[in-house]
Structures are given as structure tokens and as C-alpha cells.
Structure 1
Amino acid sequence: MTDPADSAPADPATPATLRLRILCTTDLHAHVWPHDYQTDRPTKGRGLAALATLITAARAEAGQDRTLLVDCGDILQGTALGDWAALQSTARINTTDDPAAPGPVHPMIRAMNHLRYDAAALGNHDLNYGLDPMTAAFAGADFPVLCANLVADLGATPPEDTPIVPPWCILDRQVPDTQGCAQPLRIGLIGTAPPQSAVWDAAVLRGRVAARDAAQAVRAHLPALRAAGCDLVIALSHAGIGSARPAPMEEDTSLAVARIDGIDVVLAGHSHRRLPGPDFHGTPGVDAAAGRLAGKPAAMAGAFGSDLGVLDLALAARPGGGWRLAAADVSLRPVKDTAADPAVLDLTAPAHRATRGQMGRIVGHSRTRLHSVFALTGRAPALALLAEAQAAHARRLVTGTALDGLPLLSAAAPFKHGGPTGPDGFVDIPAGQLRHRHMVELSPFPNQLCVLAVTGADLRAWLERAASAYCTVPRGARDATLIDPAAAAYTFDEIHGLTYTLDLSRPPLHDAQTGRALTAAQPPASGALAEDGAGWTGMDGTDEPQADRSPRAGRVTALYHAGRAIADTDKFAVATNSYRASGGGGYGMIPKGTPRIHSREPLLDLLLRHVAGAGEIAADGPAPHRFAPLGATALLRTAPQVTLDDHGDPDRKLAPLGLDGDGYGVFRLFL
């Protein structure tokens, strides 16, 4: 925002105003260096080191005393460097009684301290490693980390909760006005995170973290910020946009927070999207072009350090003293080909070198190419290996328990399948030596293994949620879009040990992004059918669907185990990750009270041990799912290097169509 008064002589008759520039980042996910540790290749367009160059330039434009730098959460986890730092922290914590005792500063925190961040919000992934590693990492921060709704214990009201980090903070600044005089400005910041965080990581947080609704917590704490004389209150909302009136304990609440009287600015994150920009065009309550939520200035700066949010605020004097927000310009500055800041690289170089060394360690050998480039359409050897490793450990885990003797299944999802990571974001590991970094590609999150007892009805509901990743393909359609762009790949579970058919001509039963039920066919949380028994298409003993008996029929039309059609009352054990077992990814249909057993080790460690003990990997079985014949074709985008000779599936008919404008390889799938 250009202010003529900044360059023109001051006019004593003109009321002074303040200019404040807010710089925001979000969802950095331990990306410091522009380097992909999973493929061991340099990358462009991401990382805090490159963002640092943009931050320095943006500060110079506005002036240090007119600039605020904040982050909206998910700082510590997301790359092998974050995992390496957590491992060092855990080793130190195991030798001391005080996780907050001084120790080596986390490389992300070291870089953020260097850049002089003013505050940050707690993100759900900052808790992935447990409360003690999080506390140890943030103990090294020169800035406050905030969260008002994730707490140690719930009190009678939010202000009476026992915090794990401060709910809010106040920054007192002296800011030059347009007359050149320094003016006191009091800025309040309050942080929130998805309340589901306490559930998603229950395996390491159970009994230590409780949650409140984010908007409720903001409303309760806001009077204290205003009573303290804050001129400006900024919400650091680690949440997606959501709806104006969300249900209690909703995951995405940034729009709801913006509607609270007394909140001036909302900085959002979590969903890895961009505001301003086309991602939210047409969303009620959002001005996607101007960067507004409920009419208030707002930004969401992508993920992995892809963008710097820049908000230029004009504040006018209040008649009784103090300042109020009068105008704002909001923009994003993409990193793209920005050169990394050498100082940030130097500060974090030891951690970078140690991480690369760990990732390069040879852990096994594979006779087959391990890839997920066709994970949503056919066989994916990478997922077959993950499912195999989960099942192998689950058999040992359930021995002697109530789950012993149940048919054992294994659910796996492609954590890398394009999306925000672009056409390079696919698992594609050539046959030969397997390194530690390859296993991180298959299991990139610090989840634990969990084995659940489920019914046949639960399995059907589980698979219906997974099938919402597909667009509806009418019979006879030509080159329909196959994958819903709102669907995150990690929400597509395939369950090994089953065989099932998906009819994509039927509409999905769940929203592709959130997993919310779209029709009355959504079964109760217990997994039982409705009393009238309706809702699912019956089977006639063949592997093709019968004619629909209900307009609410789902996409799963044939569901078999060991050659036998599965009844709703059949019982199984399913090996999955702790995030999915807690309902993460929109899987609220998984019964919360079902018997379950958790491993104590991270799933990655189990995978590494399985590969090391296998001698040689040969994971190349068929996909558990197939598609009902529709006489149609659909288009699939995948990695640019994919060929049918190297990656093809003999059970699917595919035809290559070349590259699209975004660099993806495009294939025609015959349904």
C-alpha cells in the first residue's frame, strides 16, 4: 500500500495515520532448505531459506519498525529434517526430567529466531511427536507460540484452562505515523488449532492434551485482550476457512473466527491453500480476490514455504485515543525461483548434512519397482509393501488379545500423489537398493500402528469414504475427470485382504474434502445399519452389482474376503495408522469405541524393520479394488516419467496422452 504522506511534507491539519505491514507464513512443515530429502534432490519454490529472502525485502520496503512477522503453525514436522530433530530431542529428553531444559535449538526454530519472528500459532502437526518434544523445541524460540484451545486440562471456562502454551500475547510497539512521530501501538495475537489434534495423536497425547472449540476459546479470551488496551487483535488460526456457522468442535473455523466482533485480522493455515487467490473463489463469506473473511483482512500463505503473506494495514486514530483498523491491502508473494538466504542455510547446515546422511543409509533391496503413480486406479506396489509391513507386525501385536483369530486386513493410503507437491509428488522407487529415505516416502508421518476390530458394515462405510475421492463418471462418458480435485490423496485408503468393486456412475456418499455424509445412506457411528436394513445394495453371490433397491446405494457394490461375500455382521481386524484409527481424514465412521491395540513404535520404524528382515522385497500383487464396467473413459493425471512398460497394470486398460500444461503425465482410463 503506497501512502503519499510517507513521502510528502507533513500537513499539520491532516490527521496522522499508522502503517503496519504484517508478514505471515504457515505450514512450513520443517522445510528450511530447498531440498527434497525423500528423493535427495534440490527443489525450488519452497522452504524457509528462500522465504527469508522475501521477508528481508518486504521488511526493507516498509521499515523494520512498521513490520510484524508471524507464523500460523505446523512448524516442526513434515520433512526428514524435522524427524531427525525430533529424534535428537527425544534422546535428550530420555536423559533429563525437564523437557524444557536448555538443549540444542531445533533447526526450524534457529532459522525463525534469526529472522526475528514475533509470534507463531501451534499447529496440529507440531504435536505429532508428543508433548515433550514439542515443549523442548519451542523452549528454544525467541518468540511466543500460542494456542487458546489445546490445553493440558479444561477448566470451567477457557480462561480457567491449564495451558500447554500461552493462549495469547500482547506486543507493544512504537510505530512512526505519517507525520513522522513514533506512536504506541498495542497488538494482541491469539492462536488456535483444530480440536481434533488431541484425538489424531492420542497415541502420544492421551491424558496430556484436551481441546475446546476454537471459536469458543477466542470469544472467551478476547475480552481480556481488549481490556488490556489492544488497538489491533490478530487471530493466528491454524485452520481452514470452513463455514460461517460451523458445528461445535469443527476442524476448519477461520471464517467463524473472523465473524467474532473484536477480531480485526485473521491469518489462516492448515489446509495448504492460498488466500487471496482462486482457491476460495465463490466460497460464501470469502472475498478471494481481496483477501477477506467476513469482510476482514485475511491471508493463507500456502504450505511448505511456498508463499509469503503480506498485509498492509492503515490505522486511524480513535477520538478517545488509540488506533483502529481503517484499510488493508492483502497479497501473497510466491517463492518460485527466489534464491535461498545464505545465512539461513549456514545456520541449519549441520542438521541438513546429518539428515541427508541418515536418509542415504541402505536398508534393503527390492526386485520390483515400488511406486504409487496409479494408486487410485490400479496396483500400487508401494502401498502393497506398506500394507504387508503393517499386517506382519499386527499379527504379532494381536497375539493373545481379543483380536487374535479375527481375519486380518491392512489399510494403506498414498501419502504422495500429486496435489500440493505437484507432478514430482509421487512415490516411484526403481528396483534395487532401498534407502532410509525411500521408507520415509512410504510412511512420512510419525504415526503408530493401530489394529482395530470392525464389522463388515464398518468396512463398507470405510471404503465408501475412500471412494469419495472419485468424481462421478456417467455411463458412456468420454474423458470424464476421474479424481475430485478437493480430495487429498491420503484420504484414499485401499484395504488389502479384501476384493471389492466400485461403481463410479453412482454419486459419492461423502464429501471428498471433509468426509461429511452427503446422503441418508451414511451409517450410524456404530457402523450398524439403519433399523429398516436399507441403505446398501444387496449381493447375489456374483461379483457384479444387483440392480439398486434404494436410491441411497453406495459405490461399493461387491465386497469379498477370501472369495466370500462379506455380511454386515462379519468381524475383522484392520491394521492402519493411528491417525486414521482416530477418525483423521474425515473417517468419523470408524467406531470410536471399538477394541483397538496400539504399537508403541512409530510406523516408520516397523516398516524399516520389516524391509531389513525381508531379505528382498517383491510387492507386486493386484490392487484390491476394481471398477464396475461403464463403457466410459476418464482422465488421470500422474507423474511425467510414467510409462506403461515400467508402471503399467495388466488389470487396467490405460492409454498415454502426453503431458498437460502443469507438467503431469495424462492417461486415459477405460472403465
Structure 2
Amino acid sequence: MGPSVEFTCEMMVTSDIHGHIQPVEYRTREERHAGLSKIATLIKEARKKSPELLLVDNGDLLQGTPFAYYAATAGKHRLNPAIATLNEMRYDAAVLGNHEFNYGWELLAKAVGDSSFPWLSAGIVNRETKEPVFGKPYIVKTLGPNIKVVILGVTTHYIPNWENPKHIKGLEFQDALETVKQWAAYIRKEEQPDLLVVSYHGGFERDLSSGEPAEKMTGENQAYAMCMEAEGIDVLITGHQHRFIAGEVNGVTVIQPGCNGQAVGRISVAFQKTPSGWMIARKQAELLRIDGAVASDPAILSLTGEAEEATQTWLDQTIGHIRGDMTIADPLLCRIADHPFIAFMNRVQMDAAGVDISNAALLNNESEGFRGEVTMRDILANFMYPNTLTVLRLRGEDIRAALEQTAAYFQVDLNGALGVNPAYLEPKLQHYNYDMWEGIEYELNAAKPIGQRVTRLTRNGLPLRGNEWFDVVMNNYRAAGGGDYEMYQGKQIVREVQIDMAELVAAYLQKHGVVEAVCNHNWQVVLKK
């Protein structure tokens, strides 16, 4: 017989919702088994059994769908529908994710100000005062028979490696692991909680069972180290990697509920009364997947219906036309030889930046490219991130180093066929870290060792000299070194184009009316033993 349980704390968590409120696939308008409107149904059901249910969002709420894009642009002066939804669902707290900063400080500050719940992030501080920018980084909840629960929020400190510097001006991002250690010790001493929960917008850097490194140890993800090194944590909520995790590491209950509202995490902590106070008898984490049996909550559909209708109308605008075919039949084939859609992306970037060398990435494997009539829906389906453009001044040797980095995307499988390096698939899909260039000619031989794959590199038919300078346009994420492109860090910024890529594509199509689907076959990937 186990100890008698006198109270059970129930908590539900979301993470990486990325603007998925209504259950809509915005490319096709078909229903998806995902989104906060469906999660709200499960939350309401859970509250019937547990009225004191705690509800936390773990970040990356405000960006990710055309719905979110519309709310942040054309609808930016209204109450953000994502905030309205969390208010309606009575969230207890939300944690800042890295994508919360994508649309700039003004939009983020309005979202925080309009929230009926606190936003938490212990390690984001004012550069001058060192005080937490978003106020007290934890909340205290007293449940049932005087059980004290503290929830501490923290965000990956890797944000400056990706974000537009203007969006995070005056902010300092302190090491998340050290921040958790310090605050956990402080909370244990000052608050003396019965349950300490850390909600961390970051993921696991190591395999949960073996402890072996699962990725390059950059500090972007530190959840495993938190479980092993930060004393006093009972539950660790994670995110950022879009993984489905429910389990335990070193006695710490851990959970990560995927992305886009495909699942909600549930954590149950049972307490028993002892002479020295309340003690944890057992903990359990599980994932509740959204499927066809889960209906949307009518209140959330009604609350966001007007914004959804406005978004759909806006998405159906015809922006321009393509003569020929820019569609992507196979994303791998698109990445092994010059393709009209990638050539178009680079052409738009070069036109906007006024330079003649560019690199661009196919952002995910669901991108379908363009053909015929192009609507705003088509544009945002392919350009889902609000990236702006940066022109860097690079030497030829920097370009070669960047091509070697991008060539690491490939591996040769056991059958001798070209495939994708698993490091770009696990623990998180990173197809967006493979770049394709215009304005130079090159060949990558994937059969050679990583770091030795650039077998041809010319410009206008002449060898690219290592000490020669070139101005190159790329998205701001890459220009900051995102994706382990360390050769770009610290390089001179020649200019910035502070208009996001979706708007630039729309403007280019509107300006030209009809765009030809062409490419000049300036690069290829080969397999030569």
C-alpha cells in the first residue's frame, strides 16, 4: 500500500502554439486537428474535475500562421486574438518565447499589457539596471489545503543570435541555466513552496535516457542540465524544439507538448500530509493529443471569428501571376540543383537590397512554391517567418566557409543515395539552415567529408578569390549567425531592409504583375567518389 493521497495538483501546459487558434490549415482552408480552440475544450473538461487547475503557456504564441501575421500587421491596433484567447481560457501565466520578439517591441508590449495574466522570464533583464524586464519572474499559487505552488518562467538566452537587434534593444539575455539555479535557490529559501515548477522556453540538449549530446552544445537548449544541476525543481516544462515528451529526468518530471496546438500537456502531482508538512507522493506527466474526436470550443471560435474572417479575406487577394512553373514537387530535389522558386527568392532579395549576390533557404518541406495566380495565402504559406534582410560585407573565404556549412546538410545513405544529415532532422527540423546562392557559381560534392565539399566556386566564370570583398544579402536570422553560420558573426552590416520577406515578395509581384519562372543553373550538388 502506498501513502494515502490527500490532495492532487493538476496542471495543463501549452507551448509553441505559433498562432494556431482556430483549427484551420491556411494553405487549403481545411480543418486541422490542432489549435487552441480545440485545446480549450479539453481545458474546460479538466476544470470540471479540477476547479483549481493551473494553466500555463510556455512561449512562441504570437507568431507562426497567416492569422498571427495579419494580427501583427493589419490588425496590430486591435486586441491580439491570441491574447484574447488566453484571457478567455483563464491562463495563470505565459512565458516569453523567442518568437514573441519577431514583430518588434511595440507589438510585444501591447500584447503583454492586454494580457490578464503575467508574462514570466527570469533571465531577460534591463541591460542597465539588471532588473527583470517583465516584472516578477514567478507566480505563487495556493491550492486546496494550503499547498503552495511556485511557477518560475525562463527563456532561452540564445535569442540575440537570431533576432533583429532593434527588437531587443536595451535587453540582456542571461544564461538560462544559471538563472534557473539562482532563482530556484532563492524561491526555495524565500517562498518555501510545496511544489516548484520551472517553465522554460527551451529544449533538451542531450538524449533523455543516455545523457549523450543530441545537438551541438551552443547553450540554446539546456533542459537536461537544468534537471541534473539545478536543485529543487520538481517539474520542468519545456518547448522550443516542437517535440512530444512526457517523462522524468533525474527525478524531475518533464514535459514538452509539441507545437501548433497538436497536444496539451497534463501534469498531476499528488501530495500527502506528514508531520513536517505537505510532501509529494507521486508525479505524472502525459500528453493529450488533439484528434478528430475533439471539437472546438464555441466560445473561442466566436471570440476569434471576426479576426479569422478578416484574415481569410485578406489571404485571398490576388497579388501577381507566374508564367511557367515555380512549384516544388520534391523539397530534396529543390535543394540539390538551382530551382525557379529559389532563384525567384534570391531575385527578390537582390532587388530589395540593391546587391547582386544573395542566399536564401526553403524554409520548410511543406512549401509548395508558386504557379499561375499568386495570392497572399500562397505567399505566407511559403514565407511564414517575419524575416527581414541584411547585407553583409564578406570576403571570398567567408563565402566558401558558408558553403561548407550549408553542405553539411547532406549525407550519403547506406545505399549510396543522397539524403539529409540527421542533425537537421532531430531533435528539431532545421531545413531552414540550408542555403542556396545566386550571383556565384558553385558545386558541392556530398560524397566528400564535411568541410571539404566545395569543389567549384566562381563568380562570372572566374575563381572566387578568398581575400576579395563582396556584399551579400540574406535574412536577418542568418546574418546574425543563426544555424551555426559563425563566419557571419561580427561582419560589417552594409544595410538592412526593415521590411519582412512576405511583404517584399508581395511588393515585387505587384510591381511586375507577371514574373517568369526561370533559373540560370548556377549551382548543383553532386555525388562523386
TM-score normalised by structure 2 residue count: 0.91
- In the aligned structure 2, how far is the partner of 1:268 from the partner of 1:41? 30
After TM superposition, give the deviation of residue 473 of structure 1 in Å.
4.5
Aligned pair 1:269/2:225, yes or no? no
Which residue of structure 2 aligns with residue 170 of structure 1? 139
- In the aligned structure 2, how far is the partner of 1:458 from the partner of 1:306? 40
- In the aligned structure 2, how far is the partner of 1:624 from the partner of 1:215? 45
- In the aligned structure 2, how far is the partner of 1:204 from the partner of 1:319? 55
After TM superposition, give the deviation of residue 302 of structure 1 in Å.
0.5
Aligned pair 1:129/2:69, yes or no? no
Which residue of structure 2 aligns with residue 250 of structure 1? 219
- CA offset digits 1:438-497 (Å, max 9, x no partner): 2223322222111111111111221222222212347xx445644533351111111112
What residue identity is the alignment partner of 1:330?
A
2:140 alignment partner, SS class:
strand
Q: Is the 8 A contact 1:363 1:436 kept in 2?
A: yes
Label 1:482 to 1:489 Cα distance change in 2 as closer, same or farther (>3 A): closer
Q: Is the 8 A contact 1:440 1:604 kept in 2?
A: yes
- In the aligned structure 2, how far is the partner of 1:625 from the partner of 1:324? 63
After TM superposition, give the deviation of residue 604 of structure 1 in Å.
2.3
Which residue of structure 1 aligns with residue 401 of structure 2? 461
- In the aligned structure 2, how far is the partner of 1:124 from the partner of 1:18? 36
Q: Is the 8 A contact 2:263 2:287 kept in 1?
A: yes
After TM superposition, give the deviation of residue 602 of structure 1 in Å.
2.2
Of 344, 357, 361, the residue aligned with 2:300 is: 344
Which residue of structure 1 aligns with residue 318 of structure 2? 362
Aligned pair 1:414/2:362, yes or no? yes
Q: Is the 8 A contact 1:361 1:435 kept in 2?
A: yes
After TM superposition, give the deviation of residue 355 of structure 1 in Å.
0.9
- In the aligned structure 1, how far is the partner of 2:15 from the partner of 2:494? 34
Of 377, 380, 390, the residue aligned with 1:450 is: 390
Aligned pair 1:23/2:9, yes or no? no
- CA offset digits 1:351-399 (Å, max 9, x no partner): 101111111111111112223433223343222211101001111xx7x
Give the length in aligned residue pairs: 513
Q: Is the 8 A contact 1:258 1:296 kept in 2?
A: yes
- Measured on the aligned residues, the alpha-carbon RMSD in Å equals 2.4
Aligned pair 1:214/2:112, yes or no? no
Aligned pair 1:426/2:367, yes or no? yes
- In the aligned structure 2, how far is the partner of 1:310 from the partner of 1:106? 26
Identity of aligned residues (%): 27
- CA offset digits 1:94-124 (Å, max 9, x no partner): xxxxxxxxxx421011111221111111000
- In the aligned structure 2, how far is the partner of 1:594 from the partner of 1:472? 36
Which residue of structure 1 aligns with residue 336 of structure 2? 377
Label 1:353 to 1:570 Cα distance change in 2 as closer, same or farther (>3 A): same
Which residue of structure 2 aligns with residue 234 of structure 1? 197
Aligned pair 1:561/2:459, yes or no? yes
What residue identity is the alignment partner of 1:150?
I
Which one has a bigger Cα radius of gyration?
1
Of 53, 58, 62, the residue aligned with 2:46 is: 58
1:313-328 alignment to 2 at 5 Å? 313-317=269-273, 319-321=275-277, 323-328=278-283
Q: Is the 8 A contact 1:169 1:188 kept in 2?
A: yes
Aligned pair 1:571/2:469, yes or no? yes
- In the aligned structure 2, how far is the partner of 1:46 from the partner of 1:624? 41
Aligned pair 1:72/2:58, yes or no? yes
After TM superposition, give the deviation of residue 208 of structure 1 in Å.
2.8
Q: Which runs of 5+ in 2 are unaligned?
A: none
After TM superposition, give the deviation of residue 72 of structure 1 in Å.
0.8
After TM superposition, give the deviation of residue 593 of structure 1 in Å.
3.4
Q: Is the 8 A contact 2:418 2:446 kept in 1?
A: no
- In the aligned structure 2, how far is the partner of 1:457 from the partner of 1:188? 51
- In the aligned structure 1, how far is the partner of 2:516 from the partner of 2:465? 32
Of 262, 265, 277, the residue aligned with 1:306 is: 262
The answer to which of 362-371 and 372-381 deviates more is 372-381
Label 1:496 to 1:317 Cα distance change in 2 as closer, same or farther (>3 A): farther
The answer to which of 161-170 and 480-489 deviates more is 480-489
After TM superposition, give the deviation of residue 584 of structure 1 in Å.
1.6
Q: Is the 8 A contact 2:410 2:418 kept in 1?
A: no
Label 1:229 to 1:483 Cα distance change in 2 as closer, same or farther (>3 A): closer
The answer to which of 480-489 and 576-585 deviates more is 480-489
Which residue of structure 2 aligns with residue 42 of structure 1? 30
Aligned pair 1:191/2:153, yes or no? yes
What residue identity is the alignment partner of 1:305?
G
1:390-405 alignment to 2 at 5 Å? 390-395=349-354
Which residue of structure 2 aligns with residue 472 of structure 1? 412
After TM superposition, give the deviation of residue 304 of structure 1 in Å.
0.4
- In the aligned structure 2, how far is the partner of 1:608 from the partner of 1:624? 25
Q: Is the 8 A contact 1:362 1:433 kept in 2?
A: yes
- In the aligned structure 2, how far is the partner of 1:233 from the partner of 1:316? 16
Q: Which runs of 5+ in 1 are unaligned?
A: 6-13, 93-103, 156-160, 176-182, 277-290, 399-407, 418-424, 510-553, 632-671
What residue identity is the alignment partner of 2:337?
G
Label 1:376 to 1:69 Cα distance change in 2 as closer, same or farther (>3 A): same
- In the aligned structure 2, how far is the partner of 1:618 from the partner of 1:44? 34
Aligned pair 1:85/2:71, yes or no? yes
Which residue of structure 2 aligns with residue 504 of structure 1? 446
- In the aligned structure 2, how far is the partner of 1:256 from the partner of 1:453? 38
After TM superposition, give the deviation of residue 623 of structure 1 in Å.
4.7
